[in-house]
Amino acid sequence: MVKAFPKGFFWGGAIAANQAEGAYNEGGRGLVQTDVTTGGTVNSPRYTTYIDKDGKPGKAGGMGHHARIPEGAKYAVLDTEYYPNHKAVDFYHRYKEDIALFAEMGYSIFRLSISWARIFPNGDDVEPNQEGLDFYRSVFEECRKYNIEPLVSIWHFDTPLALEENYGGWNNRKLVGFYVRYCEVIFNEYKDLVKYWLTFNEINNTTMFLDMMGNKGTDADYQAGYQQLHHQFLASARAVQIGHRINPDFKFGNMICGITFYPATCDPADILANQHKWESGIYYCGDVQVKGKYGTYAKRLWKEHNVELDIREGDLEDLANGTVDMYTFSYYMSNNVTTHDTDDKVAGNFSTGARNPYLTYSDWGWAHDPRGLQYYLEKIYDRYEVPLMVVENGLGAFDTVEEDGSIHDDYRIDYHRAHIKAMADAIDNGVDLIAYTTWGCIDIVSAGTGEMRKRYGFIYVDMDDEGNGTMNRSRKDSFYWYQKVLATNGQSALEE
Ligand code: P53
């Protein structure tokens, strides 16, 4: 049988508000954590900036909720620093031009996120911010104009900063209520424009990375991480229930950072360690959100780190009643798990473990592993049997602009072609895969490093790591290649 993508398969691309929009202090928007996060590189971290209790500026290593600012300090934007997310690539003002380019490529779906702080600038405001609501209405209408289905992430690492400061972020159960209120507002507002929603982007990152990248999470880190996740699971489950009442046609997805883990050797201890990494890193969140209950191994995980979860009456019923309709995930790479000491380690941002001799690695240390995508798809589909979406996949790479302005990014084309073939193989093996949205269909600010030069787009944006450039958009070779793939429902990639 000839392999093919099913009729009506969704093809498109994905971005996130804080990495693309810019306009960080326009339209009544409140601050989020990336607004106080500097740029970094593959070898140097991003920093979170603050003013300490004595009024002295400072910066703490790490980003998002992993950054630890001193007691009594307040997050602050400092004059001495450059913050790449402030301008990002100005999608806020250029969305019409960008969506027209996506339509030219032939998108049938476009994944973007709503910035919570545009709707509720402080998170706990009584009334939503009308300018924020109008902005996304206009973006969704623009998509509809071209028959592009919006796929909307409700949270993409961007809790309003005021909720972090005044409530302690997701450590606080009150966040569940604030999130659900935000969801109710956007569901009612966009119920005729948006059908597909993702509740939390890469929800599993909070605990999955605690024992990766050289991290050694303490019991306190795990306690906090698992409690934050419990609150997010509840928030997601309640949002799903409310959403289905507001519009029974809504389809909800979870969203998992999908790393395929392999045992580095056939030592049974490695096989087991790998199985346990799947449980703690990948299944833990998927099981709650898709099956509606904590996994069989969850108690062991909590015990291992002396975690005492605050689970209240009714919580488990909420989780059971708020399961998602589809499983969605990002996929960039695989990782090797081993109990053995090894000198041959991968060092890159967000990739760790023993080097896999069968794979090549990107300039940022991410393994190029299309078979790992097929493996992930088949394993996950067999576990849950709900429709799957690959909502992020791409290659962060340096691009060179030729004198005539062209950009020959064959490496990116090769990366996507191989992953598209792997998806077709998984479909051939019975997997119900319904969508593919490539990451950063347009160049945007890297989440991990804050760089512009780690480019993922099929559309180039003229802008460097210090914010210099015209921000003009241009088409890379991959743009024309993907256009052909979409025009043939994937066939041209399978035949190359
Ligand atoms: P950047 C870690 C590992 C895999 C994916 O990442 C990850 C992360 C966290 O950065 O994040 C997703 O930009 C995330 C996007 C992000 C994209 O992968 O660090 O959902 O926001 O931009 C690529 O190269």
Residue 333, domain member (yes or no) = yes
Report the predicted TM-score, pTM, of the whole model to 2 decimal places. 0.97
Q: What is the maximum span of the chain, computed from C-alpha positions, in angstroms?
A: 71
Range of the domain at 447: 10-27+86-495
pLDDT digits (tens, 9 = 90+) for 28-72: 999 999 999 999 988 888 999 999 999 999 999 866 656 788 999
**202 carries an active-site annotation:** yes
Q: What is the pLDDT along the chain (496 residues), one digit of tens a residue?
A: 568 999 999 999 999 999 999 999 999 999 999 999 999 988 888 999 999 999 999 999 866 656 788 999 999 999 999 999 999 999 999 999 999 999 999 999 999 999 999 999 999 999 999 999 999 999 999 999 999 999 999 999 999 999 999 999 999 999 999 999 999 999 999 999 999 999 999 999 999 999 887 778 999 999 999 999 999 999 999 999 999 999 999 999 999 999 999 999 999 999 999 999 999 999 999 999 999 999 999 999 999 999 999 999 999 999 999 999 999 999 999 999 988 877 666 655 555 678 899 999 999 989 999 999 999 999 999 999 999 999 999 999 999 999 999 999 999 999 999 999 999 999 999 999 999 999 989 999 999 999 999 999 999 999 999 999 999 999 999 999 999 999 999 999 999 9
Mutational test site, ligand 1, from 392, 441, 452, 455, max ligand atoms within 8 Å of CB: 392
Residue 329, domain member (yes or no) = yes
Report the C-alpha dihedral over residues 232, 233, 234, 235, rounded to 10 degrees.
Answer: 50
For the Cβ of 39 lying below 6 angstroms from any atom of ligand 1, the answer is no
> Which protein residue has the closest C-alpha to ligand 1 atom 19?
448
How far is residue 388's CA from residue 296's CA, in Å, rounded to a whole number? Answer: 23
How does DSSP classify residue 200?
A: S
Residue 201, domain member (yes or no) = yes
In one-letter notation, the amino acid at residue 306 is N
> Which protein residue has the closest C-alpha to ligand 1 atom 2?
350
> Which protein residue has the closest C-alpha to ligand 1 atom 22?
447
Residue 58, domain member (yes or no) = no
Residue 33, domain member (yes or no) = no
How far is residue 353's CA from residue 145's CA, in Å, rounded to a whole number? Answer: 46
Residue 69, domain member (yes or no) = no
For the Cβ of 88 lying below 6 angstroms from any atom of ligand 1, the answer is no
For the Cβ of 260 lying below 6 angstroms from any atom of ligand 1, the answer is no
User: Catalytic residue among 21, 149, 392, 451, which?
Assistant: 392
Spacing, Cα 201 to ligand 1 middle (Å): 10
For the Cβ of 415 lying below 6 angstroms from any atom of ligand 1, the answer is no
Residue 272, domain member (yes or no) = yes
Domain count, the chain: 1
For the Cβ of 330 lying below 6 angstroms from any atom of ligand 1, the answer is yes
Residue 51, domain member (yes or no) = no
For the Cβ of 16 lying below 6 angstroms from any atom of ligand 1, the answer is yes
| C-beta pairs of 360-363 under 8 Å, 24+ apart in sequence | 362/395, 362/396, 362/397, 363/42, 363/396, 363/397, 363/398
> Which protein residue has the closest C-alpha to ligand 1 atom 3?
350
> Which protein residue has the closest C-alpha to ligand 1 atom 11?
447
Spatial contact of 354 and 334, defined as CB atoms under 8 Å apart: no
CATH code of the domain covering residue 470: 3.20.20.80
Atom of ligand 1 nearest to the CA of 396: 24
pLDDT digits (tens, 9 = 90+) for 343-402: 666 655 555 678 899 999 999 989 999 999 999 999 999 999 999 999 999 999 999 999
